[in-house]
Copies of this chain bind each other. A is one copy, B any other.
Amino acid sequence: MDLALDQARAAGERGEVPIGAVLVIDGTVIAASGNRTREVNDVTAHAEVAVIRKACEELGQERLTGADLYVTLEPCTMCAAAISFARIRRLYYGAEDPKGGAVDNGVRFYAQPTCHHAPEVYSGLQETTSADILRTFFQQKRDVP
């Protein structure tokens, strides 16, 4: 989760909404990324989707069975579904996102009949730090005229 937080901070320094994710298989980091939507002009390049794509490319496979994903914020609806499709084993996330989350808020995708694979979910990992990074980022944006 420390690596994911580093990725979040680095994303914020690039002017992206500061969210970070790290994908691990058997204790080895396979991919790490922050949110990259602005950098690559791709609205789907959230941190989770970015690491899933990197890992699929790295491993030459479509599914990431046995992988664990660490992300600083509760995944949104798009990312929650991508995590399911990739067959990720465990999802660890930091802060909850009542406005956009889809795991313990919103559509609660993993509890739905149209979800065909649900990861084990562990929430609240370093949630204060995760939330502080986001809060500081938006506060600074508001302060800039």
Binding site for B on A (CB under 8 A): 37-38, 41-44, 49, 52-53, 56-57, 60-64, 76-82, 85-86, 99-102, 105-107, 109, 112-116
Contacts and interface: CB of A to CB of B under 8 A. Distances in A.
B102 A114 contact: yes
Contacts of A77: 77-78, 80-81, 102, 107, 109, 114-115
Give the copy number: 2
A43 B52 contact: yes
Question: Chain A: interface secondary structure?
Answer: loop
A44 B106 contact: no
A114 B100 contact: yes
B114 A44 contact: no
B41 A61 contact: yes
A71 B124 CA distance: 38
